[in-house]
């Protein structure tokens, strides 16, 4: 049986996943307004992925016989500066999410909740990919930042996601 403490922190993580989704949707909208449609597309896909993550946590609680409680999501900012600023914010945010997932895993271990540990292992692996992907984009923008042609090519690459 899953503890109420674990249910509460997973419900909080569901909110965090929806907050992340809403943040990425705001970033996507901003990049659309900057005519960087490929980057906007990449973030729109990121938005969808975060919604899927929230749903995975919800489905897990349902399977454990626990109740999902949805909280109000936070209003994201709407001005993100340059593409480099924006993707540095993405990387910082993904590191924050990784920290949250690690804390969930620590609690699962403390409570000897092996089912939650198993489920959270997938999220830990996912966060490794999320951070690497964001860091890769930051590195590319830093390399290409000085020319508009290079930024255009990166925008086209990200549209292929």
Q: Where residue 19 falls among pLDDT bands split at 50, 70, 90? A: very high
Tens of pLDDT, residues 85-118: 999 999 999 999 999 999 999 999 999 999 999 9
Per-position DSSP letters for 6-75, written without gaps between them: HHHHHHHHHHHHHHHHHHHHHHHHHHHHTT-HHHHHHHHHHHHHHHHHHHHHHHHHHHTTPPP---PPPP
Q: What is the CA radius of gyration of the chain?
A: 17
Query: Domain with 138 in it: what CATH number?
Result: 1.20.1260.10
Residue 150, both tokens: 């290079």
Q: Where residue 144 falls among pLDDT bands split at 50, 70, 90? A: confident
Please tell me the distance from the alpha carbon of residue 107 to that of residue 55, in angstroms, as a whole number. 21
**Number of domains within the chain:** 1
pTM of the predicted protein model: 0.90
Please tell me the distance from the alpha carbon of residue 111 to that of residue 113, in angstroms, as a whole number. 5
Quickly count helices (H) and strands (E) in the chain.
5, 0
Residue 127, both tokens: 């966060």
pLDDT over 80 at 17, yes or no: yes
Place of tokens 């970033």: 27
Burial 130-156 (b: 16+ CB within 10 A, else e): bbebbbebbebbeebeeeeeebeebbe
* Residue range of the domain that includes 9: 4-158
Sequence-ordered list of residues with C-beta below 8 angstroms from that of 96, at least 6 positions apart, any chain: none
pLDDT over 70 at 71, yes or no: yes
């Amino acid at each position: 049986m899953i503890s109420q403490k674990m249910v509460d922190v997973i419900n909080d993580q569901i909110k965090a996943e929806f907050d992340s989704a809403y943040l990425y949707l705001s970033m996507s909208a901003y990049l659309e307004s900057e005519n960087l449609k490929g980057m906007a597309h990449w973030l729109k896909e990121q938005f969808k992925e975060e919604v899927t993550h929230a749903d995975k946590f919800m489905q897990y609680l349902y399977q454990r016989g626990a109740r999902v409680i949805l909280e109000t999501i936070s209003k994201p900012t709407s001005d993100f500066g340059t593409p480099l600023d924006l993707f540095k914010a993405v990387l910082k945010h993904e590191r924050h999410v990784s920290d949250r997932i690690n804390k969930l895993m620590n609690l699962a271990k403390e409570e000897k909740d092996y089912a939650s540990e198993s489920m959270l292992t997938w999220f830990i692996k996912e966060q490794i990919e999320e951070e690497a992907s964001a860091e890769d984009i930051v590195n590319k923008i830093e390399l290409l930042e000085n020319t508009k042609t290079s930024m255009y090519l990166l925008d086209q690459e990200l549209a292929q996601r």
